Amino acid sequence: MIRSLKFSLILLIVSVSQLDTGYAQSASLPNVIFIMADDLGYGDIGAYGQKLIRTPNIDALAKAGIKFTQFYAGTSVCAPSRSSLMTGQHTGHTPIRGNKEAIPEGQFPLKGSAYTIAELFKNAGYVTGDFGKWGLGFVGTEGDPNNQGFDHFFGYNCQRLAHDYYPDHLWDNSTRVDLPNSLTKSEVYAPDMIQARALEFIEANKRKPFFAFMSFTLPHAGLELPENDKLFLEYRRIFNESPKVVKAIKTEPSLYKGQPYPHSAYAAMVTRLDDYVGQLVAKLKNLGIEKNTLIIFTSDNGPHVEGGNDPQFFNSSGGFRGVKRDLYEGGIRGPMIMSWPSVIESGRVSDHIGAFWDFMPTFADITNQRKPQNIDGISILPALKGKGKQQKHEYLYWEFHENGGRQAVRMGKWKGVKLNAKTNFDSPIELFDLEKDPAESTDIAALNPEVVRKIKEIMKDARVENSDYPFTSQTNSPLK
């Protein structure tokens, strides 16, 4: 009897030791890796129909998990879209509603009173890290990533300086990391350095739950790669691309460097991004924690046209109308892939209509945290699990503060878009039936006045004026 008890105890010790060796973690607290590409279009990924650019690792994520076909970014440019993700609020409520620059570096800061998904994870006992581009507040301000819930930050604090893939510095938390790059010298390719730091973060935190926000800058303009990059040379051969006249020479980091082979460079940058995703997945498998890790892959908005990029060549918008800065589908509908081997059944496709602001309540459910008040999101955990009833949005709302101001509403199959909303809040609303006309080619507002009336009310009532980002004038404001 005693020998049997001793043997059982030995087995228990060995089992615990083996669990530690495999870096097992509590299934109730999964790791979360949120991968956000920069200006990647809905159609730039093979899983969403791309024919010219190879993305085998991202495609494999889609096959291993769930692919959403009607999921939306926060809005159609960088900072407000990221603010929407961080706060769980659409752009009628989130604090940052435009790309407002700070001099000499950084952007208008996210307020200290904002509650972010990083803070939610931190409160749940996670180690948190952001690797890539921030753009929501300079070092030492309220918006500093270290003041918004991130234990570790490495990359570009300033999204304007992130236009340069060979910057003269990056930031390691509040420490400036000088690099041997200049206007005439390109030695350190920043995305490779950022990727290396992200892999180190995962390795260092393999025994505890972690949240890694992979805010990659690829494939945002300028279109830059190492001089002898194999992917770049390979795509040049495939496309047989003739060099273009270089019109924009980089004279300061905020400008885009001219790219004589824009098709080849863009394709190579997307495939390089795909390689980074493959490295992350391989690291998880090597550490034995892939089954308990939720990986999310998406983009912050639609494809860009700067730096010589040609989204039409690649069908980057996936057949939808518009690009970055548009509130038509091509500017805000993006790829959304989620893989979580222990929870999400492989090979699933979902037409659930969701948006960035849904991640705050989803992550709250995953980590057993109370959902914050005053958010606009709905948890999509039932959709991920494929169990239970998934709540649906009554509507989705976006606003965009540049180019005269724009608003958009998705209400079931209906999509309303208003242009020049800042100069005339009562400007006409275009209406589209996305079930019959996903390309938004035919405005049917005149045929559906009652639907237009409802959308007009939503555009008025869904938002709250923000003095830092005024949208409506004193003369036409519906809030006066």
Pairing of strands 66-72, 127-133: unpaired
- Tell me the residue type at 104: P
How buried is 187 (Cβ within 10 angstroms: 0-12 exposed, 13-18 middle, 19+ buried)? Answer: exposed
| pLDDT for 254 | 58
Contact 27, 211 (CB under 8 A): no
Query: Residue 13: pLDDT band by 50, 70, 90 thresholds?
Result: very low
- Let me know: does 410 contact 403? Beta carbons within 8 Å: no
d(CA 138, CA 173): 11
Average pLDDT over residues 218-243: 95
Residues in a beta bridge with 31: 293
Q: Quote the pTM value.
A: 0.92
Largest pairwise CA distance in the chain: 89
Residues of 434-458 as b/e, b for ≥16 C-beta within 10 angstroms?
beeebbbeeeebeeeeebbebbbeb
Order across the sheet with 31-37: list the strands: 175-178, 169-172, 152-156, 127-133, 210-215, 31-37, 293-299, 336-339, 66-72, 348-355
Say if residue 24's pLDDT is above 60. Answer: no
φ and ψ at 75, to 5 degrees?
-165, -160
Mean pLDDT of 106-128: 97
Mean pLDDT of all residues belonging to the chain: 92
Q: Report pLDDT for 473.
A: 57
- What's 198's DSSP letter? H
Domains and CATH numbers, the chain: 28-393 (3.40.720.10), 397-461 (3.30.1120.10)
What pLDDT digit, counting tens, does each position of 402-449 carry? 999 999 999 999 999 999 999 888 899 999 999 999 999 999 999 999
Query: Cβ(80)–Cβ(96) under 8 Å?
Result: yes
How far apart, in whole angstroms, are the C-alpha atoms of residue 116 and residue 113? 10
Residues 407-424 as b or e (16 or more Cβ within 10 Å = b): bbbbbeebbbbbbebbeb
| Exposure letters 102-111 (e unless 16+ CB within 10 A, then b) | eeebbbbbbe
Q: Tell me how many degrees the CA angle 397-106-124 measures, rounded to the nearest 5.
A: 65
41-87 pLDDT, tens digit per residue, is 999 999 999 999 999 999 999 999 999 999 999 999 999 999 999 99
Per-residue pLDDT, 7? 40
